[in-house]
Structure 1
């Protein structure tokens, strides 16, 4: 190929490129809109994570245990309970204890472990006693937990 032929080929290619779609230099409006929406979404997520980090989730769990129903069975008495975590902190391996009391004397004890109670939620379980809980003062409470 000669010098002139190569030059003509280059000019023809440039002319065919110029006939196609021409792109203005710089960023298009669509790109700016997408970048703005992405930036806003990123800032929203970061703000949420920062606020969540400074919230009181590192405090103490507030577990309230209330009896729901007492049922007599062949093996004894089943006391169903609801354990409510009123704090903004999740807890695991929650030990629930129940006592049947006659005045200051503890007549019988029972315990159960709930695997997990998320923040501001409730889980149910049951304790089994040999004696009738209706004949004594029933006391239910959480005795311990671990952090998940």
Structure 2
């Protein structure tokens, strides 16, 4: 199903919204690749306000006290498991290093999201055959 505003996402941290339960809020959890290598921490969730779904996780890595951190978006489709401490993804660290660049000072648009999804091998969420993965939705 294509939504009229597909591609316009908000960072959950920039809104007054929350996920349905505290257990579903994966921010600040460690992200591990499919081989168990540390990728970074979930710094925020990008939500589709129209459909009320999380579309990407923002992962911060490197830096010191938030300074000099690299940030990247990972589609929620990459998540294979979530525990109280970590989020596991189906990609390797090497594959992440070749992902399309993310500049936190720019507002990503639909093409940027499409490039990221394609890089990880997933269809755009605004496409007709898209099926949302099992992942929490946020609430007001």
The TM tier, using the shorter chain, reads under 0.3
Query: By percentage of residues, which structure has more helix?
Result: 1
Higher relative contact order (CA 8 A, sep 6+): 2
Structure (1/2) with the larger strand percentage: 1
Calculate the TM-score normalised by the size of structure 2.
0.27
Q: Return the TM-score normalized by structure 1.
A: 0.26
